[in-house]
Amino acid sequence: MPEIVNVGFNPVFREVNASRVRYRVLKGGAGSGKSFNLAQDYILKLGDPRYKGANLLVLRKVDDSNKYSTYSELCGAVQRIYGARWEKYWRIGSSPMMLRSLITGNEIVFRGMADIRQRERVKSISFASGKLCWIWCEEATEFEQEDVEILDDRLRGVLPNENLYYQITLSFNPVSSAHWIKRRFFDAPSDNAILCHSTYRDNRFCDAAYARRMEDRKLH
């Protein structure tokens, strides 16, 4: 592993980052740092030889939305963690969007699930080495429950490395009381899911001006 540079985490995410349960459910408002955290968490794990054979599928409901959200976050995490020599450790492709660790061979690919065609495309994903182990659904409230069930069905089979595990991560802004995510994970807690709630107050990287703006919004 390279020398890690300028990488830090917010304590609120420590438990969820370490968890190996099937579902990680991260609810957080604007400025909470949940996506920033997940990008760093995945880049560190996928570049670690202990997790050789793991691959990550990242989804937004609309495929193109990944470009300026999840893809940007993950590329930024590579450059923060590996510094000026990041190209020695990672390959980043833009067309199509993808990332590959040059140490482990682990890959990150991006998809959407806006229609039947995209759903079928997700079902046929395969990798040159290893298996699809991890799935990240960003802005998960945009997904139908059936979308996530389709994804969940993809995580199966014997894994090539005893350190690997299957996991789906859902990240989203606070959910309405009528949403399926609330019914599925919050109304019926399970040992197979870990829940994490964060706000801008949990984000030690949040600047003072932004924090003040968020406080002001509560009053107006």
pLDDT at 7: 79
Which pairs from 118-121 meet CB under 8 Å and 24+ separation? 118/63, 119/147, 119/150
Question: What gap in Å lies between CA 103 and CA 20, rounded to an integer?
Answer: 23
Residue 69's pLDDT band, with cuts at 50, 70 and 90, is very high
Spatial distance between the Cα atoms of 102 and 188, rounded to a whole number of angstroms: 41
* 107 vs 29: which has the higher pLDDT: 107
The whole-number pLDDT of residue 211 equals 45
Half-sphere exposure of 192 (CA within 13 A, CB side): 7
Rg (CA), the chain: 17
Answer for the pair 57, 71: CB distance below 8 angstroms, yes or no. Answer: no
Cα(34)–Cα(91) distance, rounded to whole angstroms? 24
| Residue in this structure with the two tokens 């609810």, named with its chain if needed | 27
The proportion of the chain whose per-residue pLDDT surpasses 90, expressed as a percent, equals 76
Name the band, by pLDDT with cuts 50, 70 and 90, for residue 31: confident
- The pLDDT value given to residue 1: 52
pTM, entire model: 0.91
Summarised one tens digit per residue, pLDDT across range 144-178 is 999 999 999 999 999 989 999 999 999 999 878 89
- Rounded-to-integer distance, Cα 98 and Cα 76, Å: 13
Residue-level pLDDT at 210: 43
- The predicted-structure confidence for 126-143, as pLDDT tens digits, reads as follows 898 999 999 999 999 999
> Does the pLDDT at position 92 exceed 80?
yes
Phi/psi of residue 57, nearest 5 degrees: -110, 125
> What's CA 67's distance to the chain center, in Å?
14
